[in-house]
Structure 1
Amino acid sequence: MKLLLVLVSTILLSSCASLFNPEDCRTDFRSPVPRTVLIDSTTIQVQPGKATPVAFVRGNQTKEAVLISDTRTDTIEVRPRWSEAYYFNFATCGIGFLFDGKTPKKWKYPSTLRLTDRYIDRHRKGADPYADYRYADKGSWNLHISLPYANAFYSAYGKESQWGAGFLGLSLGLSYHTSDKTFVNLSAAGILDSEIPIPAAIDYESPQVKDHRYSILANLSNNHLLLQKRLSLGYGLSYGYDTWNTIHHGIAQEGEKQENIRRTSHSLGFVFPVYYYTRRSFYLGMVYRPMLVQFAHGTHFKYQHTLSFDFGWRIRLTK
C-alpha cells in the first residue's frame, strides 16, 4: 500500500517545470559602467551598483540585446537554458520529462547578467558561449555537488560475491584548474542501493531476506576537458568503506531462527569519472570505480566495483 502511494505521488508530482515555474522569469542586469540596453523592444538604463530587473516570458528563443555605453556599442545573445525545476524530473525516474517535454516553462534565462567587458566579449553575437568560460579558467576553484542517483554494485567478501543495484547517494567535491583544459578533483561520496528512487521507508509486509549495500568513498582524480570544454574524462584513485548486509525483514514464524549477516571492509582501487556539461554549472555522467585491494581480515587482491549514474552542479569559489 505504501509503495502504491509512493508511485501515485511520483506521477502527480512528475511535471516539475509545469507545476512550479511561472510563465515568466526575472533577469537582473548589472554593469560596472552606465549602459543603455535595448532588448525585446524595451529600453532600460543600467547604473553601476544597482540591479535593473527585467521579466522575460519563458521559451527557447535566443534574445538579442544591444548594449550602449560611452565607449562602445555591442550586440550580445541572451540564451535560454533548462530550468532547475526541469532537472528535478530525474527524481521521478524521468517520468516528468514526458510531461514537460514541450512546455515553454522548462526554459529560463540567466537570473543575473553582469555586463562586464569580459562577459560581453564572450557572449557577442556569433561567439561560441562554450569556447571559454569562467568555471574552467586556470587557477579557478569550484565546489561540486552531485547526486549519484542510480548505482550498480559488484560486492565480494570472503568466498561470497553478488551483484546489486539501487538508487540514491550524495557526493561533494572540490576541484582546481591546473590549466584551462585540465583540473584536479577531490571528492567524498556516499552511495547505496535503495529499492525506490526517492527517500522513503519501505514496509515489508511478509517475511523475506534482502541484501543491502552502501559505500562511503574518497576519490582523487585528474580530469581533461574536451569538446569545447563540455566533456570531461578523468582517472585517479579511490578508497572506500563498503558494507554488505543480509537482513531478515518482517516477523518470523514461530520457531524460525533469523540471523542477520553484516559484512564490512575497506578497499582501494581506481576511479574513472566521465561527465557532460549541458550548461555552465549543470552536468551529468557516470563514475566507474574498480576496486582491486580489499582490507578485511588481512589484505587481499579482490575485484569489486561500483558504477554510479549521477547529475550535479559546480559552484565557482574564486572570482
Structure 2
Amino acid sequence: MGKYYAIYRLNLMKHLFAAAIILCLLSSCARVMNERLTTVTIRTTKPSKIVVNKDTLSTRKNKVSIKTPRSAEPLTVVAISDNSSRTVTIPAKNSFAWYYNIVTNFGIGMLIDKNAPQRYTYPNIYIDPLDVMNDFYICGPTGHYGEFLLHLSLPHANQFVFKPDGEKLQSNGGFLGLSVGLDYYHTYSQFINLSASAVTDFVVPVPAPYDRFGGSYKTMSSMFVSLSNNHKIERFSFGYGLFYGQNKWRVNYLRDSSQTIDHSITKKHNVLGLVGTTYYQFGPSFNLGLIYRPSFIRFGTLQRFRYEHLISLDLAWKIKL
C-alpha cells in the first residue's frame, strides 16, 4: 500500500508541476502587474491648471499627478497658466510589464496582452505653458523630500558564491526571495534605505514542486539586513552601504530511488560586507534593479577574512506611506 501511495504522490506532484508551468507560460504579465488606471505626473514651469479627460486639476509646487485609463489612444493634456494655454498630445507606449512577458513566458504573454488596455502606459511629462512650439518633454519622477516609502521587492534571480568551512568554493544560482524595507528621502535627490531580505537558489522561477531521485543535491540561501544611501537621478537610482547577514550552505543526501532525505549536512556563518544597488523606475512604483553584495568579514568560521558574494536581479515596488 505504501509503495502505491508513493507512486501516486509522485505522479500528483508531476501533474501539479506541469500545470504550474502551463499556467506560467499562458499568464499575462500586463494584466497581472498593471492596474486598469495608470498615473501620469505632469510638471510645469509655473502654477497652472491641467485639463485631462474633462477633469481640471491645479498644480501644487508646479506638479500634478493624474490617474487615467490605460489605452492605445494618445492622451490629450491642456495646460492653462495666466492668459496662455497649451495643448499637447501624449502618445501611448508599451509598459514594462508587457515586455516582461519575454522573461516569464518566452513572449507568449505578449500575444495574450496584444489588445489589452493594460499593455499601455503614458510617460511623465514636463510642459512650459509659454512655449509657442506646443511641445512637451519626457521626464522621470523625482524624489519625495521628507517622505517615507514602503519598499517591497522580489530578488527573482540570485547567484551565490560561498566558502563553507572544510569545503571547496561553492557557487550556485537560482530563484526566489523576499525583501521588505523603508526608504526615507533626506534630500530631494537622496534617500536612505533599510531592508531585511531572504533569498534562495530554488531551481525553478515559481514556487512549484519538482522531483529529485537518489544521489544528493546542494542548496544555498542567505538572510541579511542592509542599510544604504541612494541617489535618485530622474528614473535611475544607485546606492551604496553595508549589510550584515547569514550565509547558509546545505547538502542533502537522498535514499536510492526516493525523494526522501536520508541525512543532510548544513554549514552556516555570519558575514559583514558592502551593498551596491542600481535601479530603473518603469512606473509610479515599479523598479527593476541589480544588487551586488560582496562580503569580506566572516564570523564563526576558521577563516575570518574571505571574499563571498550574492548578486540579485530585483523586482521592487516602492509605495508612498
- Same fold? TM cut 0.5: yes
CA distance in 1, matches of 2:102, 2:286: 13
Equivalent position to 2:224, from 211, 217, 229: 217
2:7 equivalent to 1:7: no
Aligned AA for 1:201? P
Corresponding position of 1:151: 158
Corresponding position of 1:312: 316
2:236 equivalent to 1:236: no
Corresponding position of 1:282: 286
2:63 equivalent to 1:58: no
Aligned AA for 2:311? L
Change (3 A) 1:259 1:56: closer
SS at match of 2:25: helix
Change (3 A) 1:214 1:70: same
2:252 equivalent to 1:247: yes
Corresponding position of 2:299: 295
Question: What's the CA shift string for 1:208-256, capped at 9, x where partnerless?
Answer: 3111111111111111223xx221121110111121111123x3379xx
Aligned AA for 1:230? R
Change (3 A) 1:78 1:8: same
CA distance in 2, matches of 1:20, 1:281: 11
Equivalent position to 2:139, from 107, 130, 150: 130
Change (3 A) 1:162 1:54: closer
Change (3 A) 1:201 1:79: same
Unaligned runs of 5+ in 1: 30-34, 48-52, 111-118
Displacement, 1:105? 3.4
Give the aligned CA root-mean-square deviation in angstroms.
3.9
Contact 1:17 1:100 (8 Å CA) reproduced: no
2:269 equivalent to 1:260: no
Change (3 A) 1:45 1:153: closer
Displacement, 1:76? 5.7
Unaligned runs of 5+ in 2: 1-13, 41-48, 59-65
Change (3 A) 1:145 1:66: same
Corresponding position of 2:203: 195
Displacement, 1:165? 0.4
Displacement, 1:265? 1.2
Which runs of structure 2 are paired with 1:80-229 in the superposition (5 Å)? 80=92, 86=98, 89=101, 92=104, 94-96=106-108, 98-99=110-111, 103=115, 105-108=117-120, 126-130=135-139, 133=142, 136-160=143-167, 161-204=169-212, 206-226=213-233, 229=234
Decide which moves more: 272-281 or 70-79: 70-79
SS at match of 2:20: helix
CA distance in 2, matches of 1:95, 1:120: 29
Aligned AA for 2:245? G
Question: What's the CA shift string for 1:158-194, capped at 9, x where partnerless?
Answer: 1322100000111112112222222211111111000
Contact 2:160 2:171 (8 Å CA) reproduced: yes
Contact 1:81 1:108 (8 Å CA) reproduced: yes
Q: Percent of pairs identical after alignment?
A: 30
- The alignment's TM-score, normalised by the length of structure 2, stands at 0.72
SS at match of 1:215: strand
Contact 2:125 2:137 (8 Å CA) reproduced: no
CA distance in 2, matches of 1:28, 1:269: 38
- The alignment's TM-score, normalised by the length of structure 1, stands at 0.72
SS at match of 2:186: strand
CA distance in 2, matches of 1:180, 1:56: 29
Aligned AA for 1:266? N
CA distance in 2, matches of 1:241, 1:284: 25
CA distance in 2, matches of 1:28, 1:151: 31
Number of residue pairs matched?
Answer: 284
Equivalent position to 2:273, from 269, 274, 281: 269
Question: What's the CA shift string for 1:247-299, capped at 9, x where partnerless?
Answer: 123x3379xx9431011211100001111112332210110000111112467
Corresponding position of 1:114: none
CA distance in 1, matches of 2:203, 2:32: 27
